[in-house]
Amino acid sequence: MKKEEIALASKKYFISFVLTAMLLTSIPAQGGAAAATALVLDSSVKYAGDAVNMSGTSSFNEVVVKVVRPDGTILYMNIVKVTQGKYQDHFTLPADAASGIYTVITGQGSTDDSVANSTFTVKSKSDGGGHETPGSGPSGSGSGSDSIPSKPPVVDHSLPSVIVTDKSITTAIPTTAMSSTKVKENGTVISNVTVDQGALTRAFQALNGYANEKGKDLIIAMTVPRETGGTKIELPVPALMEGQRVAPTAMLSIQAGVQAIEMPIQAVDVPQLEKSLGAAASDLMLVVSTQSLPGLFTPSERQEMTSVGTVLLSDPAAYSVFVAAKGKQAKLDRFDDRLVRQTLTLSSKVDARSVTIVAIDPKTHELRFVPAVFQTTADGGTIATFKGRPEQLYMLISSRRTFADTAGHWAQSAIEHLASKQIVHGNEQLMFNPSGQITRAEFTALLVRSLGVQSSSTQPYAFKDVQVGDWYADAVQTASALGLVDGLKDGRFQPQAPVTREQMAVMMDRALKHLHARPQASQLDLSNRYDDMSDISGWAKDAMEMLVEEKLIKGVSAERIAPKRATTRAEAVLHLERFLQYAKLIQG
């Protein structure tokens, strides 16, 4: 990996749009033929505020249930367990549900027999002699610098309903409890949304009775309007203080268009914020801002990405969090070292091997791999779930990389897989050199990229033979800070020395510890498997045993593990692919 190579570069439940809980796990479909799904609704006519009961049969283990409003937006989504071939679910229509035809879709995938759908009609109460319920959500039209306010929030003193699964406990802020205004910031129109303090307080109070349930996430979910430039959401801090009192582990889950974030309310240190802003808690407002930067890349940058097979599937997007009072702002320090769950949504299905979430360097615009999970929705869309930091730009890309010298190679699939993830690169001639030996510096750089961490050199370099300006210096320094690598007793790292199989094993073992993904101590005795086990260094024995037992590393033959043999570039990539899949940093 030369300097120029770098330059080239739940199980049960989710609520995607309305409830927005970003707790996605894969839904395993059963093998064999496509599974049949059927759906029955309890009534074809409903009114705002009515309960909607759904039931049916399916040969899947779980089905996705989605309800679509007349305007095509998603009102409700859930993953429901199928027991003995049957499933059932229910939800309550909002008090401001718009009149019209609603579509219910259940199942998995998109084939006719794996997905069932049905419709029901929501009628206004005026049809039965009452008054018509207002349309849903904030409204407004036009653009430019004029502010266009929505209707004021509707005051509702009742506690909202709570949805409980074996993974999550969720309540939602209704659109009627938000006021929205279109404003122009930095030349771009955004939505400025303010959440009613009383509604937010009651949402936390609704979770109070569940605060002691272990192993379940408490979620306050909200779906907010979004304009081209993004959304700014204002949440009164006094309501968050009540949440910290009655449901201290609760998280805010905010969906704004295709972008969503989930953050813990414990990160809001009210006494510290009062002191730094010189304001009382009653004056504090938590501001969560999401933004898109469609014009970030120049035409030449886009052309360069296209030339190496990279396609942008979403605009660069970021979020920021701060507290405001009396014209002053303060960032939340507790978010600086915290990874916050995020999602990006696409309307189409993608190939998880070629699609990747990437972080964007704000200065160089270089792309960095970010571990992510991709979930296919019932309507054939995709939700990418990952963890990221405030103000860091992320986007979704598709990339299919090939190299002239890997066609037909035994490691071709692994090499192209990790190349599409922006982890491995070739040279300027689009060659990979799979049989060449990989150095300690090169493997360290690959491992750091595989973890999705940003290389940093804020501290003095740990090794005397790693110098400022070396292309691998930041990666080696980051790996040292994470405890992934050691040097020799004389303080050298030997960056240009070939990495041996046992050195590679120890580095991957330490990476699993860093990820808290390492299994318990191995019970495998390699002396019963390989003739050359005595060649394994004492410091590498535990790592080699664990990786062999977990099938992350294999012998070079039935009799030999070859611990001190130099590793080729192809072997290194194959082992990293196994490592990434084992640690659930990529999908198969």
Provide the 3-class DSSP secondary structure of residue 163. strand
**Could you tell me the pLDDT band of residue 71, with boundaries at 50, 70 and 90?**
confident
Better-scored residue on pLDDT, 36 or 401: 401
Instruction: Give every CB contact of residue 575 below 8 A, 6+ residues apart in sequence.
Output: 504, 508, 552, 553, 567
Instruction: Give every CB contact of residue 135 below 8 A, 6+ residues apart in sequence.
Output: 96, 98
**Could you tell me the pLDDT band of residue 9, with boundaries at 50, 70 and 90?**
very low
**What pLDDT score was predicted for residue 507?**
97
**What pLDDT score was predicted for residue 3?**
38
pTM of the entire predicted model: 0.70
Better-scored residue on pLDDT, 97 or 243: 243
**Could you tell me the pLDDT band of residue 125, with boundaries at 50, 70 and 90?**
low
Cα–Cα distances (Å) from 544 to 16, 314, 507, 551, 564, in that order, read: 42, 41, 11, 10, 12
Instruction: Give every CB contact of residue 193 below 8 A, 6+ residues apart in sequence.
Output: 138, 178, 179, 180, 181, 224, 225, 231, 232, 233, 234
> CA–CA separation, 529 vs 361, rounded Å?
46
> CA–CA separation, 528 vs 488, rounded Å?
31
**Could you tell me the pLDDT band of residue 580, with boundaries at 50, 70 and 90?**
very high
**What pLDDT score was predicted for residue 337?**
60
For the chain, how big is the Rg over CA atoms in Å? 27
**What pLDDT score was predicted for residue 187?**
81
pLDDT for 270-326, tens place per residue? 999 999 999 999 999 999 999 989 899 999 999 999 988 899 999 999 999 999 998
**What pLDDT score was predicted for residue 522?**
66
Residue 229 has pLDDT above 90, yes or no: no
**What pLDDT score was predicted for residue 132?**
34
Q: Given CA atoms 473, 477, 483, 485 in this order, what sign does their dihedral have?
A: positive
Give the whole-number percent of the chain exceeding pLDDT 70: 85
Across 354-361, average pLDDT: 95
Residue 79 has pLDDT above 80, yes or no: no
Across 229-252, average pLDDT: 94
**What pLDDT score was predicted for residue 11?**
34
**What pLDDT score was predicted for residue 508?**
97
**Could you tell me the pLDDT band of residue 15, with boundaries at 50, 70 and 90?**
very low
**What pLDDT score was predicted for residue 109?**
58
DSSP string, 270-311: HHHHHHHHT--GGG-EEEEEEEE-TT-S-HHHHHHHHHTTEE
Phi and psi of 529, rounded to 5°?
A: -120, -40
> CA–CA separation, 126 vs 182, rounded Å?
31
Cα–Cα distances (Å) from 300 to 212, 297, 305, 398, 576, in that order, read: 55, 8, 9, 18, 32
Helices (H), 336-494: 412-420, 440-451, 473-481
Per-chain mean pLDDT for the chain: 84
Better-scored residue on pLDDT, 459 or 476: 476
Which of 165-179, 448-462, 497-511 has the highest mean predicted lDDT (pLDDT)?
497-511
Structural contact between residues 359 and 393, judged by C-beta atoms closer than 8 angstroms: yes
Q: How many CB atoms lie within 10 A of CB 414?
A: 23
pLDDT for 151-208, tens place per residue? 455 544 578 888 888 888 999 999 889 999 998 887 888 999 999 999 999 999 999 8
Cα–Cα distances (Å) from 315 to 71, 229, 278, 358, in that order, read: 24, 11, 38, 11
Determine which of 135-139, 429-433, 508-512, 577-581 has the lowest per-residue pLDDT on average: 135-139
**What pLDDT score was predicted for residue 21?**
32
**What pLDDT score was predicted for residue 147?**
47
Angle of helix 237-246 relative to helix 270-277, nearest 10 degrees?
160
**What pLDDT score was predicted for residue 84?**
86
pLDDT for 529-564, tens place per residue? 888 888 999 999 999 989 999 999 999 998 999 999
**What pLDDT score was predicted for residue 148?**
45
**What pLDDT score was predicted for residue 277?**
94
In one-letter notation, the amino acid at residue 472 is Y
Give the whole-number percent of the chain exceeding pLDDT 90: 53
**What pLDDT score was predicted for residue 484?**
96
**What pLDDT score was predicted for residue 92?**
85
pLDDT for 101-123, tens place per residue? 888 988 875 455 678 889 999 98
